[in-house]
Chain A
Amino acid sequence: MRRHLASRVFGRMGSWGLKPNQRLRWRKAGVVYMAVWIGLLAAGLHQQANLILLIAGMAAGPIVASFLVSAAMLRKIRVTRRGPAFVFSGEPLIIDYTLENFRRSTSVLALGVEDVLAPVDRTVPGGVPVLPRLTFDRVAPGAKGRLRWAGPTPNRGRYRFTTMELVTGSPFGLIERRVVVTEPSEILIYPRIGHLARRWNQLHREATQTKKGRRHDRTAQQQEYHGLREYRAGDSPRWIHWRTTARIGKPMVKEFEQQNDQDLAILLDPWLPRTKVTPEQRETLEAAIRFAATVCVESCRQAGRRILLGWTGATPGVRQGPASAKLLHELLEQLAVMRPAPEGQMSVLLDALPPACLREAMLVMISTRPVNLADEAERSSRLSGGASRGIAGRVLLLDASQGDLTDLIHFDEHNRIAASRRAEVVE
């Protein structure tokens, strides 16, 4: 028993000395307290007055006890964090913290948690760290305390929880002890999603019509009806299956199997000048990315269609596949971490596209600078000559710097629609 006690005591003493994840810091109250204590001690020693020395001795107790008790307060507890794997920018970021108190008799009191969610790539514009701060007032012994932190989501990007610090000033608030808990995890902040306006549908329809006036895609009536589902915001009222809706008391819509829909290629040119970037230019880039993300979300809802996302840069990149939730996540992730590119041409990107895409897909080119399709086609090795004429009617060229996107998308103030989109993505 004695050996056990001794090993515990010396073990603790050793661990205090060699514990790299704990820090002690004097609080302002502690500094003032210390100054008063020194004054008392000096008076007691100078006067050789025992009772003043006794008061000074007893007043020293809280200082020393702060070192011991604060360490005890951080023992036998565990704080865990649970955050979403992804969240859309503009939606509230919700992180759940759970404190488990494994102690048998003592509560956890006034324990602070300071977390840091920092952007992994700081070259993404607007990526600022998020610093959740919260305090568990009291967690009874053997119990769990839960707190939910909900705050604004930062700009798009990949964010990483670096370190989480548990902070206690127990028992007197003179000294603060911090312990660093390493619990790495990442959150992807997808670009903000908006509504595509009627103008977009119009442009989209025009771009998908053939020279003979026939449309490449089929209308809803031409699609094969294969089931029913609940109404979601944004669904056309024409898809509502009234009989079923009346029977079950909530709106239900018909689901269609889309067949032979025209493939869609979203080509993004995230160009920004190498130097002297203005805030307006940055905002233009963000608007282009938001628009691309919204188109991706809308397009991926229609199964059976192939979606491609390409972007310019030093090394142009392409992601493609049949419309699905998995592809949507890939595309949104790519857009989330998309960095501005001071170099790169649309022509190089066109060369990197699969031949089938160039041949048949509708091309939505979104750029942050004026782009001349003829010039780009001229520069492209694959579209030189007569090949470029074939795609001219399938290209929708949008220059974000000229405000081309303004009429095509709008954002709900309270993100109601975005929330419904998010629900789809989660499903």
Chain B
Amino acid sequence: MNFERLYRASMYVTLFLATLLLNVDASRDNRYAMLFPLGAAVGGFLAFVTVDRDPRRGLPRDLANFLSFVSFAISGIVIYNQPNLMLLGIGHALVYLQVIKYFLPKTVEDDWYLFLIGLVEAVIGVFISQSDEVGLLLISWAIASLWTLGLFFLRRESLRDDPPREVTILPASNRLDPYPGLINLGFVFATLRVAATTLALGVMIFLLMPRWSAKAGMKPGQSPAGKHLTGFSDSVTLGQMGEILENDSVVMSVELTDEASRVVNPPPDLLIRGVTLTDYGSQGGRWQWSRQRVEVMPIARLNDSAVTGRKELRQRIKLEATDNEVLFSVRPILRAQSSTASELAMNRLDGTLFRRDIREYDDTTSPRSGKYDYRVVSDAGGSLVQEFEAPVDSNGVRVYTHLYRGLEAPLQAIVDPIVAALPTEEQGSNLAKARALEHFLREGEFTYSLRMTVVDPNLDPVLDFLTNRKSGHCEYFASALTLMCRAAGIPARMVNGFKGGDDAMGHVVTIREKHAHSWVEALVGSENGAPVWETLDPTPSRQREETVAKVGGGSVRFRYLGDSIRNFWAFKVVGYDRDRQEQWIYGPIRELATAAMLGFRLMGQMFRDATKWLYFESPGQFFSVRGFLVSFFGMLLLVGLVRIGHWLVNRLLGRTRDRNAEAEARDPGLAFYHRLVRILSSLGLERPAGETPREFARRAATLLEDRDRGGLGLAGVPPMVVEAFYSKRFGQRELSPALIRELEDRLEALETDLAAPRAG
């Protein structure tokens, strides 16, 4: 492939990446969005094999103009009908232009326009979406752009103007392949080096740019379409969670820090709470979130500077696309805040956290679903009290102890022996009873399994699990314990959330669907009027972990690598905000500066101490060994400094002097003066810096008078030349050609005379 083809192919790949970047997350708004990159790729290929081989096969300019007009019209109609998609519409209009331009014979200016179109597409792409796919594409596009920009430079150089007709340069440059053998190992390494330097500089600038917002992340309406997250909707049928337990898809990434913003490793049994399920239906096997029992309570906003004195677990959560309003966090929640303007809220009656922007949408507007960033501060001190939760009243007790009629007796038969086995003093304690029931399920003959078999289809699935099957996943264990608690008279509710996660980056936990988990919260008392819900997890941990570890298959390393990249993108790039900048860049710099200041202060102190040694109370003290040493080294230092300063000044002044001298030497109006200087220099006459040209001329005239035995009037030449020089150089007067010729004649005579051998 010759250079021109390589350049063109690179250009098309770069533009394809830009188009893909624009459309990769736009398919939720425009079902045809992915056709645009496809069109760009096909268009690029066709242009590569047609118009780029033979410019005569390009579109006529008029037709291209007409097509551009049509594409603008189409984009205008789309934008008019969907004003909320204006940016995407503009981006698509640019893609139309881009493809039309593909089919025109391209000049350097056309290539610049294509570059600019690609840049604008990329900017629109990152403005409407910031997913990790966009990040990957952005990096790819940047690298491809660097490569193509480098080739573009070489192409521009190869298209430089031909030399004038009367000039020949041999060997002539091959316009089609001006750089034969360009692509070799050295070029690839050099390109990689340039790319690495460029990207590193880019990252540095990115990191140093001032941030004044502490809410970096997704912007409202920018996220892609959400997906339904099974097991976290209003209604969950037993067994449904089995689907997601075998799914390896990422649900969210959670970064954990403490109250001092220090990194915290995830606790071994990290339970991230989601939806609370209260109603177990009479049809059997169906849990429901009671919409009738909702009291919305806005959560206190974050104030990071506030010092609570409590041990905190701060979570920065990047939730993947979901159409569910339920949010996840570690309980109990102290404060929470979304990266958007939307408020977070809690259902006071069951402790479920949710986003209000989804909950409050009506059917006429599309839900703002999709990726979602939020931050939560939870208590890490072991408190069981959720601050915003309402006390459980009699109605609440009724709900949390409700069992449908056919379930009471069989459950009673299971629960009573367990409670009866407790010591008498503990039989009145809800906590003790609940723990005993949890122990029964967790340590007994029950086993963990994702296989869904039914032994007796006429029985309630929970009863079938408790009496026949004795094998199931967490949902069965949690349902069984919840209902058993209720049978024992303990108010209880089931909670769906996540347990554990993949810990690829130490403090960032990647939570997948397979980490979904169900557990139980039992009401064991109250504290200052607030309910105390004890968390009970009846699922055998070890068996569950073994099962979770098997899900997903493939290489764990690759999965971790993917997690690392995703988390890096989400937290370090998209999530880079004022706080992080302060933490990573300016904080350490400030610390370094403080340390340096301290160091300088110490050095200053040492210097002051040392100068005391240099201090002489009376001149007489100079006449001592100390005085000699001080004055000797002081003078030595002074001389050194003066020499260095002199050298520096000369070096810097030499820069301007050289340029001035160069410019003067090129000026024909002053050439005669420089000739005089040269001639006199051959006589050994040099003008020192402190002597003006006029004084120099007088000195030279005196010398020449002695030499001018022939009476040619040579002594008058230097003053005459210098006077002309003054009037031109300082008087800004133009010398007449006649005068210049006369000066040159006299200089010629002077030079000839000086060059002639002298008698004696």
Binding site for B on A (CB under 8 A): 18, 20, 29, 32, 36, 40-41, 43-45, 47-62, 64-65, 68-69, 92, 105-107, 109-110, 118, 121-123, 132-135, 137-138, 140-141, 147-152, 162-163, 169-173, 274-275, 313-315, 317, 339-342
Contact = CB atoms under 8 A, between A and B. Distances in A.
Contact of B160 (A40, A56, A135, A341): A135
Nearest to B206: A57
Contacts of A45: 209-210
A79 to B, nearest CB: 15
A56 B181 CA distance: 33
Given A51-B134, A65-B194, A107-B186, A170 B740 contact: no
Contacts of B738: 274-275, 342
5 contacts: A40-B123, A50-B216, A57-B202, A65-B198, A135-B157
B190 A138 contact: no
Nearest to A122: B668
Given A62-B146, A137-B158, A314-B745, A169 B153 contact: yes
B612 interface: no
Interface stretch (B33-41, B169-177, B237-245, B558-566): B169-177
B204 interface: yes
Contacts of A49: 126-127, 219
Given A20-B654, A51-B130, A60 B744 contact: no
A315 B182 contact: no
Interface stretch (B317-325, B364-372, B622-630, B658-666): B658-666
Nearest to B182: A138
Interface in B189-241: 189-190, 194, 197-207, 209-213, 216, 219
Interface string B495-523: 00000000000000000000000000000
Nearest to A41: B209
Contact of A58 (B167, B181, B202, B671): B202
B668 A20 contact: no
B169 A147 contact: yes
Contacts of B207: 57
Contacts of A52: 123, 126-127
Contacts of B671: 122
Contact of B712 (A62, A169, A315, A317): A315
B156 interface: yes
B688 interface: no
A107 B157 contact: no
B666 A162 contact: yes
Contacts of B107: none
A60 B206 CA distance: 9
Contacts of B209: 41, 44-45, 53, 56-57
A106 B168 CA distance: 28
A106 B219 CA distance: 45
A339 B712 CA distance: 19
A180 to B, nearest CB: 8
Of B142, B189, B659, the most chain A CB neighbours within 10 A belong to: B142
Given A51-B138, A58-B202, A118 B666 contact: yes
Nearest to B575: A50
Closest 3 CB pairs of A and B: A61-B198, A57-B206, A58-B202
Contact of B203 (A48, A57, A275): A57
Nearest to A146: B171
Nearest to A174: B153
A138 B201 contact: no
Contacts of B205: 56-57, 60-61
A132 B197 CA distance: 35
B446 interface: no
B287 interface: no
Contacts of A137: 157-158, 173, 178-179
Contact of A150 (B146, B168, B659): B168
B745 A20 contact: no
A121 B127 CA distance: 65
Contacts of B216: 48, 50
A65 B169 contact: no
A169 B150 CA distance: 10
Contacts of B737: 123
Given A51-B126, A58-B199, A317 B752 contact: yes
A56 B203 CA distance: 10
B393 to A, nearest CB: 46
Given A18-B652, A52-B123, A62-B146, A169 B662 contact: no
Contacts of A58: 142, 198-199, 202-203, 206
Nearest to B747: A121
B651 interface: yes
B197 A68 contact: yes
A121 B138 contact: no
Of A49, A148, A151, A171, the most chain B CB neighbours within 10 A belong to: A171
Contacts of B655: 18, 20
B169 A149 contact: yes
Contact of B112 (A29, A118, A313): A29
Given A49-B127, A61-B199, A141-B186, A172 B149 contact: yes
Contacts of B609: none
A177 to B, nearest CB: 13
A47 B112 CA distance: 26
B294 to A, nearest CB: 35
B568 to A, nearest CB: 13
Given A105-B190, A138-B178, A340-B741, A48 B157 contact: no
B553 interface: no
A20 B197 contact: no
A122 to B, nearest CB: 4
Contact of B153 (A149, A173, A341): A173
B573 interface: yes
Contacts of A36: 116, 119
B748 interface: yes
A60 B201 contact: yes
B384 interface: no
B632 interface: no
Contacts of A342: 738, 741
B161 to A, nearest CB: 9
A23 B27 CA distance: 51
B757 interface: no
Contacts of A68: 197
Nearest to B658: A20
A345 B153 CA distance: 62
A128 to B, nearest CB: 11
A64 B146 CA distance: 13
Nearest to B198: A61
A151 B164 CA distance: 9
B574 interface: yes
B204 A109 contact: no
B150 A50 contact: no
Nearest to B665: A162
A62 to B, nearest CB: 6
A315 B752 contact: yes
B573 A48 contact: no
